[in-house]
Chain A
Amino acid sequence: MIPLILGITLITFIVIHLAPGGPVEVQTEMSLKTSAQARENLKKLYGLDKPLHTQYFEWVGRFVKFDFGKSFVDGRKVIDKIVERIPITLTINILSLMLIFIIAVPIGVFSATKQYSLFDKVSTIFVFVGFSTPTFWLALLLMILFGVNLGILPISGIQSIDVSEMGTFERLADWVKHLILPVGISAFGGIAGMSRYSRSSMLEVIRQDYIRTARAKGLIESEIVFKHALRNALMPIVTILGLSVPGLIGGGVIFETIFAIPGMGQLFYSSTMSRDYPTIMGILVIGAILTLIGNLIADISYALVDPRIRVRNK
């Protein structure tokens, strides 16, 4: 995992330094009169006058301590800017992962056990449409429907303006209302994909000999499906769930921007627009690390559902 993280930091660093202008150009292009002296001062301030490899090693050295430097935009520490954004992004991602799991796995299981039934066909169509839908478009349509036409759901932010006047329960309800659309939409594509994976994973399992054995010894169908088949079918699903973390985090850029949710995605979008390099680097690295953590959790849950792995490691 350590070489992986080093590789990630290296690529991030290279990407940022592809820039033809560099941050100093961006800051000074507004005022053409900025003197050459002022530019040099700015460069020195950001350490941009040093050779590239020195910049990289200095940056990695500080990165180990989670010190990504200060934002070009407002001079605040990058790590503070990111950390205050992480909870909301993580909340939305965890909620939508849960939603994906709760909805997609049953769909997949039922389509597999009733292969070629009406339910299977309908869910297959849903999967293909879901795969192909631009989620930001779906977001727009739902905003028009629920926000503009019906007026029952808020279409931006994570809390109402008058939130401070509300009681605890009202505040919670307000929060839930704001999160329904973002969570639902970020889960939407995942539900399509995941139900497809669970279907094929389940189909593979129910053709196995041990399922035939279970059936032959007269177990009732529900016991076969949920006890014998599902546990085995879950393993690839868990892996895919872990692998879908980068997609969810990356997808956050679009819907956090649409719904004006102050999460990592939105911060990333605004930093790319202002070429705030330290923040961009910080988020790229943190995003990649979150992905690795997601994979790690997937590996651990793999061990939880697969007794063979536990036994082998003893």
Chain B
Amino acid sequence: MTLLSVIGKRFSKNRLAVIGAATVACLMVISLLAPFISPYDPTAIDVHNVLSPPGRAHLLGTDELGRDVLSRMVWGSRISLKVGFVAVGVAISIGIIIGAIAGFYGGKADAVLMRFVDIMLAFPTFFLILAVIAILEPSIFTIMMVIGITGWMDVARLVRAEFLTLKERDFVVAAQALGASDLGLIFRHILPNALSPVFVAATFGVAGAILTESGLSFLGLGVQPPDPSWGNILTSGKDNITVAWWLSLYPGLAILITVLSYNLIGEGLRDALDPRLWDVEI
């Protein structure tokens, strides 16, 4: 049995993780098919149906401009997917590079880079994100970049720790003796063996990035209206809190379910990838 199929089998034994993966798959399909399945144009204003409660015409009601909430949520799912993957991609790339350099070369490079990590960790991250976004223009691109740039520290620490132990191992020393270059050692020999904790961190990272984006959009610093995102529908929920509960309830529920799914996947991956747990249950 290959390693991958062992991991796959262990993952699929975890019922909650499988439910999470299925939910995420559903969301991906929904966001791909958004133009076909959303019942209305998500930005179409309808002054005759302002703030109408959930009913037959509008399953999840309408907002203060008469826009269909369900359609806006279907289109908003695209934002969540995009933000999650791009932001985490950025964070992981930075984290891997910094962690690899620190762990592989050690010494001064390690000391300086880890100090940098400490400094970044000392900032209340949300303040930093908010400041950068307010200073640059709030847009989906800025958000993805900024969440990535402020979220790489954990990955860097994980990768560094893996590198510290892996670089002493015989196969690395052997490759070095055979004349492998530093780059070759880092990317060909060590990194592939250091990736499993990174995958787990990435999955949890996607969950965190989606939460952060929704918070930013809620504050008006994320996706700008009229473009829909789950966070900015919640802003209308807050503005109409005394009259339209449906504007608050449903988008938040969508965020909760999505984030929960990624967290469940992450937990499942962690257990599946941890060799210490293998002999116990197999």
Number of B interface residues in the complex (CB < 8 A): 44
Of all chain A residues, the one with the shortest Cβ separation from B247 is A140
Determine if A287 and B123 form an interchain contact, defined as CB atoms under 8 angstroms apart: yes
Q: Is the CB of B122 within 8 A of A15?
A: no
Q: Which residues from A are CB-within-8-Å of B251?
A: 137
**0 or 1 for each of B99-124: is its CB under 8 Å from A? (1 = yes):** 00000000000000001101111111
CA A158 – CA B214 in complex, angstroms?
26
Cα distance, A15 to B134, chains bound together (Å)? 11
Shortest CB-to-CB span from A89 to chain B, Å, is 11
A residues 240-260 near B (Cβ < 8 Å) are 246-247, 249-251, 253-254, 257-258
- With most chain A CB atoms within 10 A of its CB, the pick from B121, B126, B132, B242 is B126
Out of A141, A254, A257, A280, which one reaches B131, CB within 8 Å? A280
Whole-angstrom CA separation of A136 from B118 in the bound complex = 28
Are the CB atoms of A269 and B130 closer together than 8 Å? yes
A71 at the interface (CB under 8 A from B): no
* Interface bracket on A: 35 or more
Inter-subunit contact A7/B116 (CB<8 Å): yes
Which residue of B is nearest A10, CB measured? B119
Closest Cβ of chain A: how far from B76's Cβ, in Å?
13
Name the residue on A nearest B125 (C-beta).
A250
Residues of A within 8 A of B127 (CB): 249-250, 253, 268, 283-284, 287
* Chain B residues within an 8 Å CB radius of A300: none
- B131 touching A4 by the CB < 8 A rule? no
Q: Contact check, B124 vs A287: say whether CB atoms are below 8 A apart.
A: yes
Contacts of A249 in B (CB 8 A): 124, 127
Contact partners of B133 in chain A: CB under 8 A: 272
Per-residue 0/1 for B218-245: is the Cβ within 8 Å of any A Cβ (1 yes, 0 no)?
A: 1101000000000000100110011001
Query: Do A137 and B248 have beta carbons less than 8 Å apart?
Result: yes
Knowing A253-B126, A287-B127, A292-B122, the reply to whether A134 touches B135 (Cβ < 8 A) is no
A273 within 8 A of B: yes
A129 touches B256 (CB 8 A): yes
Question: Which of B29-37, B158-166, B172-180, B258-266 sits within the interface?
Answer: B258-266
Q: How far is the CA of A133 from the CA of B134 in the complex (A)?
A: 25
Q: Which of A4, A134, A247, A275 contacts B256 (CB 8 A)?
A: A134
Spot the interface stretch: A16-24, A210-218, A229-237: A16-24
Where the two chains meet, the residues of A that have a C-beta atom closer than 8 Å to any C-beta of B are 3-4, 7-8, 11, 15-16, 18-20, 128-129, 131-134, 136-138, 140-141, 143-144, 147-148, 155, 246-247, 249-251, 253-254, 257-258, 268-269, 272-273, 275, 280, 283-284, 287-288, 291-292, 295
Q: A137-B214, A144-B241 are in contact. List 14 more A-B contacts (CB 8 A).
A: A4-B119, A8-B123, A11-B120, A132-B263, A134-B252, A137-B248, A140-B234, A250-B124, A253-B219, A254-B218, A284-B128, A287-B124, A291-B123, A292-B122
